[in-house]
Amino acid sequence: MESNTTRDQLFQALIAKSTLKQDVYSNTLTSLRMFKRVIEDLTKDYTLKAEEVKSHRNVAFENRYRGDFEIELKFGADILLFLMHTNIFEFSRDHEVMRTPYIRENKDRSYCGIINVYNFLSDSFKYNRFNDIGYLIGRIFINKDNHYFIEGKRELGFIYNDFGKNEMNPEAAKQIIEASIKYTINFDLLTPPYETVKMVTVNEMKNTLDAISMKTGKRLGFQFQQDILKEDVE
């Protein structure tokens, strides 16, 4: 009898945890689909605006999907990639979120799906510059209550950090996408330090300029952590 009771408890724990993770997964996938709709609407609005402003010089603003879990948004010289991870994660016990009343009331709220937002130069993909660098500008966490929390830079990290109040909906998705675009537009390409590019091999020079195996990135030569600190101070 005791063995059956223990087994029942084991099965109940399994069902509870699996159900929790399935709920989180569903909310995260729904959020990504909201992002898709927002991006599609922005693309249509930009097309109409570009027709009005004849001097736009064919500035790109387009999107495409690489699968169920990835959105690519290209605008100007930049690309934003929204990548949903298919697994569910929990915040570490040292994370600031774990100390909030919202999580303390219900620890299950700390289990989240993640949508990562990366910024790349569009030429990196166009010319297959495989050594070029992209930047993680934000991580969007969505939990079972459909609340979200964002770790990110400037607009993303400072505005959307109230996990207990921020609920994912079409308006929130619109604000997140527009903040991501705004940050990217203001995140400019810097000249790499001279010491990192002063030497090149004969083999590299024989290749086309765009295929040359010297890394290109908006903050090349600076460690990402240093860049975070620098940007947050501004």
Concatenated DSSP letters of 21-49: HHHHHHHHHHHHHHHHHHHHHHHHHHHHH
Find the helix or strand (DSSP H, E) in which 179 lies: helix 170-186
Instruction: Give the pLDDT of residue 16.
Output: 96
Range 50-67 burial, b when 16+ CB lie within 10 A, else e: beeeeeeeeeebebeeee
Instruction: Give the pLDDT of residue 62.
Output: 92
**Predicted confidence band of residue 56 (pLDDT cuts 50, 70, 90):** low
Domain ranges of the chain: 21-188
What's the pLDDT tens digit per position in 68-90?
999 999 998 999 999 999 999 99
Quick one: average pLDDT of 118-122?
Answer: 91
Within its chain, how far is the Cα of 129 from the centroid? 21
Instruction: Give the pLDDT of residue 225.
Output: 39
**DSSP letter (8 states) at residue 226:** H
Instruction: Give the pLDDT of residue 190.
Output: 65
Tally of helices (H runs) and strands (E runs) in the chain:
8, 7
- Please, what is the average pLDDT of the chain? 82
Find the helix or strand (DSSP H, E) in which 52 lies: helix 2-52
Quick one: average pLDDT of 5-23?
Answer: 95
Instruction: Give the pLDDT of residue 2.
Output: 58
pTM of the model: 0.81
Instruction: Give the pLDDT of residue 86.
Output: 96
Q: Provide the token pair at 109.
A: 């709220």
What's the pLDDT tens digit per position in 156-204?
665 567 899 999 999 999 999 999 999 999 877 666 676 766 666 655 5
